[in-house]
Amino acid sequence: MKTLAALLCLVPLAAFAASPEDDYIAARDKFIAQFKLKENEQIPDAIAKAEVAARADLEKKMQALIGASGIKGVPEPGKLNLESLILGDMGFGMLEGLKYDLKGGTELLVTTRAFVERWLKAEQEIWKDRPGYAFGTEIGAALRSQNFYTQAMANGAAVVRYADVPAPEGTVAMLIAHQQDTGPVVPKELIVAVRRGERLYIWNAPVTAKTTMIAPCKAIWDAAMQKKKGAYGKNAAGADTPVKIEDAGDEAMRACYNERAKAQPFFPALVKQAQELAERVR
């Protein structure tokens, strides 16, 4: 009886044992608390140096946790996908994982399902007052949101989706541009997110095809800009503001691009490239 009782006492301990991800997050949060600053306080040199050392420590932990990418041609080891541990600083709060820089400007982020699920819950809380920026807690739905990649892999500009690209099962692919402002640009990057078992792989690669702006879609934007000019100085009830007109024009332009991209000469090459990146993970 005593032996049985002892075994039963051990069950809760095993059930609630910390996972490797839990251990990493605990170490990360300890550093974040250590580097917390007062509002508008400049970062002291001592904290800046300590923060760099802390990220180096977390990088080693993440490398041990993730291990090798397992993908041919990807240089090892990966680097921590966090640019800052100081709340409010650029690069704070990115998706936990390892980033690999390949030749030609291609990037690969490798992370785990546990990290993604934890991060999605945290992001949902952050954007609860701005639902237009949120992307839910279900991984499949989140991967179809351009805002997911903006927050997960920040590089100083937003990820803007121009077209969805067909991809194998378990994969999401899209033609994108990194932009700081609304308005049409020629999208020249491809994002391919691949779910394999307990891992998530996100490619961000320059497109190999020569993409172009689609004239009828550009015309939608131009018409919105003309409408925007006429909206200044008008305060009629229910009238659209210039900002709303610009945002609507940008959204309509990209919806047009997504619809018409499939008929463009460059589209088959996009599909092929997305499939090749997905196959590299397999």
Residue 35 has pLDDT above 90, yes or no: yes
CB atoms closer than 10 angstroms to residue 37: 14
Region 182-199: mean pLDDT is: 96
Pairing of strands 107-112, 158-165: unpaired
CB burial of residue 224 (10 Å; 0-12, 13-18, 19+):
buried
Q: What are the phi and psi torsion angles at 150 (to 5°)?
A: -60, -45
**Could you identify the residue written with the tokens 């659209």?**
240
pLDDT tens readout for residues 90-145: 889 999 999 999 999 999 999 999 999 999 999 988 888 887 777 888 999 999 99
* Whether pLDDT at 154 is above 90: no
Query: Tell me, what DSSP letter sits at residue 84?
Result: B
Determine the 3-state secondary structure of 164 from DSSP.
strand
Global pTM reads: 0.89
Percent of the residues in the chain that have a pLDDT greater than 70, as a whole number: 91
Residue 173: exposed, middle, or buried by beta-carbon count in 10 A (0-12, 13-18, 19+)?
buried
List the chain domain ranges: 19-210+264-281, 215-262
Whether the per-residue pLDDT at 4 is higher than 80: the answer is no
